[in-house]
Amino acid sequence: MKFIDEYRQSDLARTLAGKIAEMTSRPLKLMEVCGGHTHTIFKYGIEDLLPPNIEMIHGPGCPVCVIPMGRTDDAITLAREPGVIFTTYGDAMRVPGSKMSLLDAKAAGADVRMVYSPLDALKIAKKTPDRHVIFFALGFETTSPSTAMTVLQAAKEGVENFGVFCNHITILPALKAMLDSPDLQLDGFVGPGHVSTIIGTRPYEFVPREYGKPLVVSGFEPLDILQSVYMIVKQVVEGRAEVENQYGRVVPRDGNQRALEALFEVFEPRDFFEWRGLGSIAHSGMKLRPKYAAYDAELKFSVPGLRVADPKACQCGEILKGVKKPWECKVFGTACTPETPIGSCMVSSEGACAAYYNFGRLSKVAERSAANARA
């Protein structure tokens, strides 16, 4: 039992929160880009500790939330192909497609299995040579290197009944889209931690250089996030805008060379990739290089590839951009709940809507803003 450290932590947290409050004189809007941070912020009730003039905007960094409905439909089509074992990360199972989710497809007879890593999917492929195993590859640079390495492994071992349905995306184009969005006036960014272990901190340098905003790469413990907020506020107060690294214990400036090489070897950028609610963003998605076409499920099977419009009620786009708050969506918590999600932000606990619903229906921040909205 860790009683002691946690008490100490909360003392430290209060001290940090106090310092942040002392420093801030004007209201600041900070965005945490990464869904993992959103999760931590809600799980530990960090917004309760922050002074009221600091507003956290929950950005587009939840890989499950930004998967467009059409791609989910494609995944379900693949999963229902005869002879296919469709493997996926757990929280992708509940994402609603236009008619059903993978979980529904499984209940209706498709062989959908949850795995913890693409290597597990490859293992299944080796064990069941008479079936075709497809891995639903999702996520940012956090997860794409392991997909790349699995493809390399499959190629090395000559496993032919394995394929990847690639939906990997990269964080930088999305960050740029946020910065270019006129309806969003942000004062700084809490930068993603896991992604940065792969890409390093250097690629973020355009944020202060071209947009004049501070960005602090942050770890995932609650204290990490508070400290990062402190570092951003300090930059603002001192009139600086730089990339700083709070997560130095894990994130090197130049990233992880081996992972980057694997990524480059296996993937190439798509011209465009659609993000749910954000629309099409140039060079933001990745696909397998022609050299690895034998492992590309999109080439081996035919997927409909239709663009499916989001349900009318859904305001996920505005939520992902931080323009609207979850409770401003008409269906939040009534028609759209974690058990009956209409939009994908309600699915993963990293999504802003689900985080508000699960952890924060009473959150002081939500209550206060709702009251302001009424006034």
Partner 1 sequence: MTEQFTPSPLFTRVERARRRKPRVRDEFITLAHGSGGKAMRELVEGLFLEYLRNPLLEKLEDQAVFQVNSSLPRLAFTTDSYVVTPIFFPGGDIGELAVNGTINDLAMSGARPLYLSAGFILEEGFPVEDLKRILVSMRDAAHEAGVEIVTGDTKVVQKGSADKIFINTSGIGVIEHSVSLSASAARAGDKVIVSGTIGDHGTTILIARGDLELETDIGSDTAPLHLLVADMLSETARLGAPDAIRCMRDPTRGGVATTLNEIALSSEVCIQIHEDRIPVREEVKGACEILGLDPLYVANEGKLIALVSGEVAEAIVGRMRQNPYGHDACIIGEVKPEPQGIVTMVTGFGGSRIVDMLVGEQLPRIC
Q: Which residues bind partner 1 (CB under 8 A)?
A: 1-3, 6-7, 9-10, 13-14, 35-36, 39, 42-49, 63-64, 89-94, 103-104, 106-108, 114-116, 120, 138-140, 142-143, 194, 222, 327, 332-335, 337-340, 348-350, 357-364, 366-367, 370-371, 374
Counting contacts by CB under 6 A, is residue 360 touching ligand SF4? Answer: no
Tell me how far, at minimum, the Cβ of 11 lies from ligand SF4, in Å.
36
What residue 342 binds from partner 1, ligand SF4, none (CB within 5 to 8 A, per partner kind)?
ligand SF4
Residue 343 within binding range of ligand SF4, rule CB under 6 A: yes
Site for ligand SF4 contains 281 (CB under 6 A): no
For residue 315, state whether it binds ligand SF4 (rule: CB under 6 A): yes
288 lies in the binding site for ligand SF4 (CB under 6 A): no
> How many angstroms separate the CA atoms of 136 and 97, rounded?
14
Smaller CB separation from partner 1, 180 or 339: 339
**Which of ligand SF4, partner 1, none has residue 314 at its interface (CB below 5 to 8 Å by kind)?**
ligand SF4
Residue nearest to ligand SF4 as judged by C-beta position: 343
Contact call for residue 336 and ligand SF4 (CB under 6 A): yes
Q: Are the beta carbons of 332 and 340 closer than 8 angstroms? A: no
Burial class (CB in 10 A: 0-12, 13-18, 19+), 26: exposed
CB nearer partner 1, residue 140 or residue 204: 140
Q: How would you class 366 by CB atoms within 10 Å of its CB: exposed for 0-12, middle for 13-18, buried for 19 or more? A: middle
Q: Does 137 engage in binding with ligand SF4 (CB under 6 A)?
A: no
Strand partners, 269: 286
- Alpha carbons 95 and 84: distance in angstroms, whole number: 20
State the amino acid at position 147 in one-letter form.
Answer: T
Choose the one of partner 1, ligand SF4, none that binds residue 295, judging by a C-beta under 5 to 8 angstroms depending on kind: none
For residue 331, state whether it binds ligand SF4 (rule: CB under 6 A): yes
Contact segment (CB under 6 A) with ligand SF4 among 94-102, 152-160, 167-175, 325-333 equals: 325-333
Question: Diameter of the chain by CA atoms?
Answer: 66
| Residue 321 Cβ vs partner 1, minimum distance, rounded to whole Å | 21
Listing DSSP states for 316-335 in one string gives HHHHHHTSS-GGGSTTBTTT
Taking the least distance from each CB to partner 1, the nearer of 1 and 25 is 1
Cα–Cα distance list, 17 to 51, 193, 275, 313, 364 (Å): 7, 21, 35, 37, 16
314 near ligand SF4, rule: CB under 6 A: yes
Count residues binding ligand SF4 (CB under 6 A): 15
Cβ distance to partner 1 smaller for residue 2 or 156: 2
Give the integer Cα–Cα distance in Å for 59 and 41.
13
CA triplet 98, 100, 103: central angle to 5 degrees? 145
- Euclidean distance between CA atoms 345 and 201, whole angstroms: 27
| Beta carbons of 201 and 230 less than 8 angstroms apart | no
CB of 101 within 8 A of CB of 72? yes
CB 274 within 8 A of CB 280: yes
We find the least distance from the C-beta atom of residue 114 to partner 1, in angstroms, to be: 7
Binding flag, residue 101, ligand SF4 (CB under 6 A) = no
Distance between alpha carbon 324 and the CA centroid of its chain, in Å?
Answer: 18
Partners of 61 in beta bridges: 34
Select 226 or 319, whichever has its Cβ closest to ligand SF4: 319
Cα(1)–Cα(55) distance, rounded to whole angstroms?
33
**Contact region with ligand SF4 (CB under 6 A), list: 155-163, 219-227, 296-304, 307-315:** 307-315
Interface residues toward ligand SF4, by CB under 6 A:
313-316, 319, 326, 329, 331-332, 336, 342-343, 345-346, 353
